[in-house]
Structure 1
Amino acid sequence: MALRRSSIALFIVGLMLITAAAVIRYVVVPNMSKLPADTKEGALFEGTLRQIDPTTFGLDAGTPITIDRSLKVDRVVGDTALVTCTVVTHLPSGDVTDVRSFAVNREDFTQAAPPDGVSVEDQRGGITLSFPMNPTTDDALVYDQVTRTAQPVTYTGTTTLAGREVYEFTGTATAPIVDPAVLGPVMAGIAALVPGGDGSTLPREIVRTLIPALSPDRAAAVEQALAAAPDPVPLTYTSVNMLDAAVDTHFGTPIRIAQNQTAVLNIASGGALVPLLDLSQVRAQTSDASIQKVADKVARGERQLKIAEFWVPLVSALVGVLLLVVAIVRRKPGRGGGNHLEVSGSGTGNPDAEFVRARG
């Protein structure tokens, strides 16, 4: 049987294009959705720091602050990324830097087991980097570094932010302060009230002197707790953290985060904690410039992913099919001759048939 050389070439190229379409759609695109090994992101937060006024024992009017948060993938081991999170808080008294490391799954951004010999912070199953792609509206857990707990957040609605459709999540959680960088200074401030104190207790009479500065509801609760409390009164430091997150509905990227975190001094009595004083409060949210920057980057990524996920495989597959059709239609040479391949034999199914070039 004689076959055109061009038809054979078209057939092969068509098959290659169809195969390429499948490879792009089912191999390349999923890899594009993974956390890149060269990830280096940053965001600016703006807000206010309020601290306790020693003359009134209430929070002061507040001081403007900014917070730079950066995330960098330092190492990739398979589908696990070792991520360093650096937070620099710019205060009037100077900068405070906090650096932590996490192990994150590159596919769904959840917590991952670190490689052998590598130490990272346990994020308690909470989100540190991003929600998964195409996130659901189910309740989620977000990691809080101050308490080192995973804080629950709940879906509250869908809206648009900086041109992107986002899911709104919110949650409020109270937990003991664990981070030494936060716990140390607040305990030191309370310890200074008592000569030789360490911040873990206060004499009952000193606690009583603070009651006139409290709100009526809080004062009544403290009075009742003191009646059953030992002397000195045990103290506990907790964080009350209100968190709001606007998460892109396609990529799961947090476009805006707003946080209101208050450090609270509590007295322990009868197995219960009773709030005594608010020691400090940080209100911060993603700056407008960072919101727009993240939204623009997500939009670019969505366009690129759509091209790679849909248009490139579609065009490749259609062209491949077209070439196959053309190759089949043109497989036999015309009577006028031309270059083609011919299979010659005895006409009896000779297995030793050879290919010879036909002459026009």
Structure 2
Amino acid sequence: MRKSSWIRTGSAVVLVAASALTRFSVYPALHQVPDDTRTTFRFEGSATLLNPPALETGDLSEAFLADLPVILDRSVEVRDTSGRTAVVADGVVLRGRDGTRLNSSEDVWAVDRRDLTERPAPAGSGAGKHEGLVISWPLEPERRDYRFWDTGTRKAVPARYDRTETVSGREAYVYVVKADGALADPATTKALPPALPRQVVAGLAAALPADRRPDAAVLAALPETVPLTYTSTTERRAWVDADTGLSLDGALHQTVLARTAGENGPVTLFPVTDVSVRGAEASVEKQADEAAGTARLLWLLSTGAPLGLLVLGLVLALLALRGARRRAGEGERRPGAEPSAEPRTPQRR
């Protein structure tokens, strides 16, 4: 075999091996949550909140900031990775449109870097316990229901696949998450009073719109010191890119209510927070652009590059085989190796 055939054959082997390496090693290594992930998604909407300055001064006529225009920024940052596990900080900051910080929270989770479900928390990470999805959706989402961790009630609830829509030119799966129950978020419950004087509760109720006030007779029957419990109700809608699992858009309505026990069952007294927001247009467009770029890269690594390398390797292998066969045929037809085509005539003596 000539040197050129050896080169072609060797190159073909290298290309086929590179094709397999790209598809089955490079692609899986890159198709996971990167260790330098840091993203922020902005929501816009309105909120009704208790007004701390009014509560401190006792001016309960201004006890609520009603229908306040707000901005909610949710940031996700990977703090550490170990194999398939990523330790992620999940932060939420609620601000008024003037930039005034109204509320904030942060949780730390340990998640799988591919399907985003729970993973054992590494020692010393401070990651909280959870079940199912919590920060985002699998990198390869499906048209099916998932389990989602509700941070308000600290329990897993269904995330139901609802429909498929188009968001900024991208195909998106729409999931709906609903959760309600006793407020279990430790940071929030720690900041709320376990009881209030009846006079304060009545003043807060009086500051509400008439159709949202508790019955006056119920208020009058409350004890001098009213024990309080809190409930959390959350409804989320997520528009998730069908190719990459990136969240393209989202909507959130979350309410925390103060309640107490009445003669005929629990009595809702007043809202602590009532936030309703939807993804800001700029954030939606940014996510769609990122999803498009990520989808192209994933296609290149999973299909384009491996297929191209495989085809080129096979072409070189065929050329090497064809060259070897041609040279073998030429060797059989060399002068002296073939019988004469014309019969010899015997010579007379």
For the aligned pair, the TM-score class normalised by the smaller chain equals 0.7 to 0.9
Match of 1:110 among 103, 111, 117: 117
Distance in 2 between the 1:56 and 1:66 partners?
22
Q: 1:169 to 1:218 in 2, by over 3 A?
A: farther
Q: Output the CA distance in 2 between the equivalents of 1:268 and 1:334.
A: 97
Task: Specify the alignment match of 2:246 in structure 1.
Answer: 253
Partner of 1:343: none
1:85 correspondence with 2:90: yes
Q: For each residue in 1:233-270, what CA deviation from the matched residue of structure 2 results, as whole angstroms up to 9, or x when unmatched?
A: 54211111121111111222221111111111112257
Answering whether residue 279 of structure 2 is matched by residue 286 of structure 1, we say: yes
The equivalent of 1:340 in structure 2 is none
Give the alignment partner of residue 180 of structure 2, picking from 174, 178, 181. 174
User: Counterparts of 1:50 and 1:164 in 2: how far apart (Å)?
Assistant: 34
Alignment pair present for 1:24 and 2:22: yes
The one-letter amino acid paired with 1:324 is: A
Aligned residue for 2:61, secondary structure, equals: coil
After the TM superposition, which of the residue ranges 165-174 and 272-281 deviates more from structure 2? Answer: 272-281
Q: Quick check: 2:214–2:269 contact (8 Å CA) kept in 1?
A: yes
Distance 2:281 2:212 in 1: 39
Identify the residue that residue 126 of structure 1 maps to in structure 2.
132
| Matched AA of 1:63 | L
1:298-323: CA deviations, max 9, x gaps? Answer: 11110111122112111111111111
The Cα shift of 1:34 comes to 0.9
For residue 139 of structure 2, give the secondary structure of its aligned residue in structure 1: coil
Per the alignment, do residues 213 and 314 of structure 1 end up closer, same or farther by CA in structure 2, a change over 3 Å counting? closer
Question: Hey, what's the Cα distance between the residues in 2 that align with 1:241 and 1:325?
Answer: 62
Q: Which has the higher contact order (CA 8 A, sep 6+)?
A: 1
Q: Which amino acid aligns with 2:25?
A: V
**Correspondence for 1:6 among 4, 12, 18:** 4
RMSD across aligned C-alpha pairs, in angstroms?
3.3
Instruction: Report the counterpart of residue 152 of structure 1 in structure 2.
Output: 158
Aligned with residue 242 of structure 1, among 235, 252, 267: 235
Picking from 50, 59, 67, the partner of 1:62 is 67
> Is 148-157 or 237-246 further displaced after alignment?
148-157
Q: TM-score scaled by structure 2?
A: 0.79
Aligned to 1:330: 323
TM score, norm. by length of structure 1: 0.77
Deviation at 1:210, TM superposition (A): 6.2
Number of residue-to-residue matches in the alignment: 320
| Higher mean C-alpha displacement, 327-336 vs 11-20 | 327-336
1:143 paired residue among 126, 139, 149: 149
Aligned residue number for residue 39 of structure 1: 37
Cα shift readout 1:54-107 (whole Å, capped 9, x = no counterpart): 4398x6542122122221111111111111122222246536442321111112
Give the whole-Å Cα distance in 1 for the aligned partners of 2:264 and 2:145: 30
Residue ranges of structure 2 left out of the alignment (5+ in a row) = 52-59, 332-349
CA distance in structure 1 between the aligned counterparts of 2:122 and 2:321, rounded to whole angstroms: 54
Residue 334 and residue 152 in structure 1: after superposition, are their counterparts in 2 closer, same or farther (change >3 A)? closer
Query: 246-255 or 294-303: which moved more?
Result: 246-255
TM superposition shift of 1:288:
0.6
Question: Aligned to 1:293, what secondary structure does the other structure show?
Answer: helix
**Contact 1:40-1:72 at 8 Å conserved across structures:** yes
